[in-house]
Chain A
Amino acid sequence: MTATAQTPRRTATPDRTVTFRIKRCDGPGKPSYWQDFRVKVPKNSNVISCLQQIAAEPVTAGGERVTPVVWDSGCLEEVCGACTMVINGKVRQSCSCLIDDYAPADGDVITLEPMSKFPVVRDLWVDRSRLFHNLARIKAWVPIDGTYDLGAGPKETPASQATHYVLSTCMSCGCCLEACPQFNLEEDRDQWDSSFIGAHAISQARLFNAHPTGSELKPDRLDVLMGEGGVNDCGNAQNCVQVCPKHIPLTESIASIGRQVTLHAISKFFRG
């Protein structure tokens, strides 16, 4: 949010029809194909509300009755990360993608594609399990002594909370991975542990390394991030930080983990 009063949105033509050009795929190993759908958009529509209209009445622009388009969504308020897809060539959440902004004029076209760095399940729905696997790789948790009543956690200054809170809003959407030139589609699970881990997990490692109890596992995390597919695979292209919907300072996280890895390597060298 900006600190000054808001700028008005572009005025959108009321009662207009927008074309959705959707890249479809019936399932893994099946070919992709494109279909166009014309949707009459009411005020305040977003991509999901238009997909809902298409699901209820799946007729293409050419008048062909087809199967409803499949997509992934949850919260519809950009906090769960489920609905991520590539819209007009740019990766983002579809629930917060307002049609009035993207297609203000009658006849405007919006293209929807599934993310390309994850295997397609069907149509716009992809399988992002690798993203969660990578969180397990870096032990993204605070190793507490159990859920018993053992008193409060450590105190924290408001400034430190503010830093950590931002890192902790990462919703594992995968935008940063879709945009990253170093992160590639990998369908073979056995390759996951040696493939680039991505900005998302690196930033989470920074978060947990900074926590007083979480830092207990810092050496384990840095071992992973030092190895194959770790932070050194990052080419510093900085695409990730530009697409993160939560404005997480990913390049800062990468730099911070880079330094931690260097120190870790040196101390390992001396400890043998």
Chain B
Amino acid sequence: MSQHRVIVVGGGLAGLAAAVRIAEAGTHVDLFSLVPVKRSHSVCAQGGINACNEVARQQGYSEYEHFDETIYGGDFLADQHPVLEMANWAPRIIDLLDRMGVPFNRTGEGNRDLRLFGGSLFKRTHFAGATTGQQLIYALDEQVRRYESEGKVFKHEFQEFLWPVMEQGRCVGIVAQDMRTMHIRAFRADAVIMATGGCGLVFGKSTNSIICTGAAAARCFRAGAWYGNPEMIQVHPTAIPGADKLRLMSESARGEGGRVWVPRKAKDPRAPKDIPESERWYFLEEKYPAYGNIVPRDIATREIFDVCVNQGMGVYGENQVYLDLTHKDPEYLTRKLGGILEIYEKFVGEDPRFTPMKIFPAVHYSMGGLWTTYTKGSYNPQTALTKHKSGSPAPIDAKVGQGMQLGAVNNSMTNIPGLYAFGEVNFAYHGANRLGANALLSCIFDGLFCGVSVLNFIRNEAPGKNPAVDLPAGAYDAVVQQETAKMKHLLDGAKPANQDASTNPYMIGKELGEEMTAACTVVRTEARLKQCLGKLAELKDRYSRLRLADGASWTNQSFGYARSVGDMLVLAEAIALGALERRESRGAHYRSDHTGRDDGNFMKTTLARHANGVTAVEFVPIDASLILPTARTYGKKDSSPNAAAAPAMASAAS
């Protein structure tokens, strides 16, 4: 296969895992990234990565239960087979990372330590200090550097993906721009993997890195790739409000015993340590006695939002609640959570081991992404089973290929042959809500498992007979011209004197973020979403008259940002449209005008398509043939600030 090449766009966990898998099989990889891959957004992940493990297994846990939790946590929106395969692979992935040298935390005996995470009653989260994502990406970065030294991977860092190139009905390469020289050129490939991560910047401030604009996905969408469940945006319950970013306070703070509370008296002026236990309202523990503080994210977010915004019970009357670790041993906290507590101290100036943290929800993760398909595996029960009883024997073992067929060429492929989507940009695994510590897993799983599919595609399908190197130049040249024209249009007339706010890209970006945060996050309504679509139309109109202050043809950062804003507007519209059309509440998507889940009409994928500048959504059936849907309540009970404090710390959290 010497003449075949694969392009991987994105050097986060998903892109790096794919690059390693493909390079080690002997196929050349061209790896594109906006930043040196080691600096990709995946470094931000703190809490950990989920997998069934021997300790949990011997208490009754199984890969199957991990699968069941993920489907239930996602509120029954995901196609079920891919999720089963991912859960089954998880322990293998942990072993592999372990062999690569990831410094997972250890027990006294030298085994990998485990922690509790949202949505499970078993400890199944593996972690490396409080910087698990950083440690995982470094391990994969090192393996890629090894293949780079051997000439099997070529890195194109500071190169921005602009558009996919299509020929004969398949994707045959990309057009990219060097962010320094601004040179635009085409690159040929027999398959292209998009591993470009999430789109937090559409919401302005989020927990994401500054490069997570979603522009790359939006460009594929504009070029004809379908987008699945755009409206499913996860808002993390616990972030630190900030001027440039909402920094995450990891769920592991709750997993390690952190308790969420507000004073029972509204606007109580006392310092937290002066408020006695009986005057604190631990509202999550009271409402969810079984899971307590470790209820899944969407539930915690809505409860915090409700307590602050609707009931006006936020700390000091502001939109914030306490996340309290001060009852734990400071030494223990330093050992288990050092990194993330340091972040809080660094950016807020208070030590969370002695003063409760003040936190509020923030946009965090996109469950939606490029729509992909798959080939079902061998497990196909006659009728779907009822929800798995926690700790009971699994109906099946974890053999490879029961969920998805290993090597099937369409696994994680978009509707465009040869164009794949891995990692956060793939909509497949998390349904309407992602469980904590399942994202890193889905990224690496995509790279390793579906990397094999890419290899089979180029070997057995069209590229086998007709490799990209032999294709005529026409299709490539046309896209280069298209992108050059786009650049000319934006740079035309750019000069420092252009500083009118209404056509300033930073102002348009800022207004976009504020509008999307107000209309499309925790609580959504028909009226507000319609208003949002109107605002987006206004921003689009202003965007068409955009004026830049910098016309340089060298490292023009504001030009790069301005181009992304155009793509973010398209993605924003898909998000708002999906949220408007989905007239029910499910997972992260909560409609106060349609509060119930409506399986009859909406246990379906939201499929967004873009053609001739117009976005349309429809709902297409999912495959839920393995587990029957049940109400997703996590055993909720009633609680109010006036009730006596119930001593209801979740047993699993202790």
A contact residues vs B (CB 8 Å cutoff): 1-3, 5-6, 8-9, 26-27, 42-46, 48-49, 52, 55-59, 64-68, 70-71, 73-82, 95-96, 98, 100, 121-122, 125, 128-129, 132, 135-136, 139-144, 146-147, 149-153, 155-158, 161, 164-165, 168-169, 171-172, 208, 211, 213-214
Contact = CB atoms under 8 A, between A and B. Distances in A.
Given A46-B244, A76-B244, A144-B143, A59 B499 contact: yes
B446 to A, nearest CB: 13
Instruction: Classify chain B's interface size.
Output: 35 or more
A141 B143 contact: yes
A66 B43 contact: no
B586 interface: no
A61 to B, nearest CB: 15
A213 B99 contact: yes
A154 B226 CA distance: 44
A158 to B, nearest CB: 5
Contacts of A71: 557
Instruction: Indicate the member of B101, B109, B135, B506 with the most A CB atoms within 10 Å.
Output: B101
Nearest to B17: A147
Interface string B495-511: 01101000010110010
A73 B142 CA distance: 22
Contacts of A78: 343, 346
A155 B499 contact: no
> Which of A2, A125, A142, A150 has the most chain B CB atoms inside 10 A of its CB?
A142
Contact of A125 (B211, B343, B555): B555
Interface string B68-98: 0000000000000000000000001011101
B103 A165 contact: yes
Nearest to A76: B245
Contacts of A125: 555
Contacts of B332: none
Given A3-B330, A77-B245, A161 B106 contact: yes
Nearest to B447: A147
A20 to B, nearest CB: 15
B267 interface: no
Contacts of A48: 244
Nearest to A82: B39
B349 interface: yes
B103 A164 contact: yes
B243 A44 contact: yes
A152 B98 contact: yes
B188 interface: no
B145 A136 contact: yes
Contacts of B95: 149-153
Interface string B546-558: 0001101011011
A68 B20 CA distance: 38
B31 to A, nearest CB: 13
A146 B135 CA distance: 19
Interface in B133-147: 134-135, 138-139, 142-143, 145-146
> Taking chain A's interface residues, is the majority helix, strand, or loop, or is none over half, making it mixed?
loop
Interface string B534-555: 0000000000000001101011
B350 to A, nearest CB: 6
B569 interface: no
Contacts of A161: 103-106
A156 B106 contact: yes
Nearest to A151: B95
Contact of A122 (B345, B354, B555): B555
A171 to B, nearest CB: 7
A147 B96 contact: yes
B323 to A, nearest CB: 17
A82 B146 CA distance: 22
Contact of B99 (A73, A144, A172): A144
B38 interface: yes
Given A152-B99, A161-B105, A74 B552 contact: no
A122 B553 CA distance: 12
Contacts of A6: 345, 349-351, 354-355
Given A45-B243, A149-B95, A82 B496 contact: no
B103 A213 contact: no
A52 B244 contact: yes
Interface string B315-330: 0000000000000001
A4 to B, nearest CB: 8
B100 to A, nearest CB: 6
B48 to A, nearest CB: 14
Contacts of B100: 142, 144, 153
B134 A169 contact: yes
Interface in B327-348: 330, 334, 338-339, 341-343, 345-348
A46 B347 CA distance: 9
B128 A165 contact: yes
B134 to A, nearest CB: 6
Contacts of A49: 242-244
B382 interface: no
B552 A67 contact: yes
A53 B104 CA distance: 40
B554 A122 contact: yes
